[in-house]
Amino acid sequence: MNERRRPHSPTAHRPLLAPGGGRRSLSNVGGAVETVGDPKLTTRLAHALSVRAGEHDATLTHPFHAYPARMHPEIARRLVSLTPTATTILDPFCGSGTVLVEALVAGAHALGTDLSPLAVALARVKTHRSTNGDRKRLVSVAHTIAKEARALVDSDLKATAPPGESHWFLPHTLRELIALRARIDLEPEGFVRDALRMLFSSILVKVSHQSSDSDPELRRKHIAPGAPFPLFTRKSFELAHALAELSRAIPPDTLAATVTTDDATTLATIPDQSIDAVMTSPPYAANYDYATHHARRYAWLGMDASAISTGEIGASRWFTSSLDKGATRFERELTGSLTAIARVLRPSPASRVFFLIADGAAHDTPMPADEVLTRAAAAAGLVVLGRASQQRPAFGPEAARAFAERPRREHLIALGLPSR
């Protein structure tokens, strides 16, 4: 097991309001950690939560692909070390697979589910235990594809852009991406094709007029002709290198990670009483619209986004008409997900659930996530064992108004089954 226990030392306070109003990583503020619960547990929760920005985050496959509200890899690592006897670890909101990568490295069977087809495809690639042959083939095919796609651009290109995508790109970039995607589609099914699709995904927003991965606004950018090709091949080296590091780090005999499309409010693919520990970070209330943020990728990769469009938890679009409607829906869905988690947990006093969740805000009103989660846990029949909370930035003027009285915080909450 990857046990890394270090004494918790709070760092200095930083400003509450992040400049510029954009959305940034949530794990970038230090400060005192407030704890509630058994001191032995909460000291460890505090240690797991209070990670410094940049701390051990560029390791393994973690930095390969941008993902809004990605968990800090060091938090995932410390969470996994909290349950050294857990052999089966589930992340029901696995996103890009951060927890799964760390669970694998700790030798556990890592299971991930997410409602977003992009998350599932990405987490599968990022947790793949590759062979030397896989990696060599990936780099060599990526180079061939980039070369052939470059030639295709100047020929009679038959393929077209997905509907509604043309205005997101400069005309030359559009043709280059069409050629690249058409060439990837010719590859036989399997790991290399899956990885090539994620390489394409990793460069798509960079070469588009989408402002950034965590900001879906249109902002005109100057992208040089031919820019996607070297980006694509460079990414293939990066991924191959990261996958090699991951393969070396996974202990022998570790089961391959299992990543499936599933709704966290039902967890239909996970059998009853099969999981030792759940470690996860659900969407934060009214923070993102994953369906909108990933719209470019869903369109270009031909992914069906209908399930995430209707079933996304906490999406800011559910809060547009009224705070109450959004907040009621959020609490109901969190309760649904905790009820499903309670069903899949092994009935043991050692079974654990860890939720990393930050306060949300809508209509100038804060939504303290620890309070919502505590109510949802009680309704789902789970017991709060302890909590650590630390201040986080409030992004933008609206959030600043909501958190004027009380700072915005991120919480790491440990839950268990009630004792019989």
Ligand X SMILES: C[S@@+](CC[C@H](N)C(=O)[O-])C[C@H]1O[C@@H](n2cnc3c(N)ncnc32)[C@H](O)[C@@H]1O
**Binding piece for ligand X, criterion CB under 6 A, among 114-122, 133-141, 166-174, 219-227:** 114-122
Among 25, 64, 93, 352, binds ligand X (CB under 6 A): 93
Among 51, 119, 372, 399, binds ligand X (CB under 6 A): 119
Q: Closest CB to ligand X among 115 and 196?
A: 115
- Cβ–Cβ < 8 Å for 264, 92: yes
Under the binding rule (CB under 6 A), the answer on residue 98 touching ligand X is yes
- Cβ–Cβ < 8 Å for 279, 80: yes
Q: How far is the CB of 40 from ligand X (least distance, A)?
A: 26
Q: Closest CB to ligand X among 54 and 347?
A: 54
Among 313, 338, 361, 380, binds ligand X (CB under 6 A): 313
Among 35, 83, 96, 173, binds ligand X (CB under 6 A): 96
**Binding piece for ligand X, criterion CB under 6 A, among 202-210, 225-233, 310-318, 368-376:** 310-318
Q: How far is the CB of 314 from ligand X (least distance, A)?
A: 7
Between β-strands 258-261 and 277-280, what pairing exists: parallel, antiparallel or unpaired? unpaired
Which residue pairs, CB below 8 angstroms and at least 24 apart, start in 53-60? Answer: 53/25, 53/27, 53/28, 59/245, 60/101, 60/105, 60/242, 60/245, 60/246, 60/249
Among 30, 37, 311, 396, binds ligand X (CB under 6 A): 311
Q: Closest CB to ligand X among 96 and 390?
A: 96
Q: Closest CB to ligand X among 119 and 205?
A: 119
**Binding piece for ligand X, criterion CB under 6 A, among 6-14, 147-155, 162-170, 261-269:** 261-269
How many residues sit in the footprint of ligand X (CB under 6 A)? 23
Q: Name the residue number minimizing CB distance to ligand X.
A: 95
Under the binding rule (CB under 6 A), the answer on residue 312 touching ligand X is yes
Q: How far is the CB of 406 from ligand X (least distance, A)?
A: 22
Window 265-284: residues binding ligand X (CB under 6 A) = 265, 281-283
Q: How far is the CB of 392 from ligand X (least distance, A)?
A: 14
Under the binding rule (CB under 6 A), the answer on residue 74 touching ligand X is no
Under the binding rule (CB under 6 A), the answer on residue 114 touching ligand X is yes
Under the binding rule (CB under 6 A), the answer on residue 290 touching ligand X is yes
The closest of 15, 48, 13 to 32, measured between CA atoms, is 13
Please work out, in degrees rounded to the nearest 5, the angle formed at the alpha carbon of residue 34 by the alpha carbons of 28 and 39.
Answer: 120
Under the binding rule (CB under 6 A), the answer on residue 263 touching ligand X is yes
Q: Which residues bind ligand X (CB under 6 A)?
A: 67, 69-71, 93, 95-96, 98, 114-116, 119, 263-265, 281-283, 290, 308, 311-313
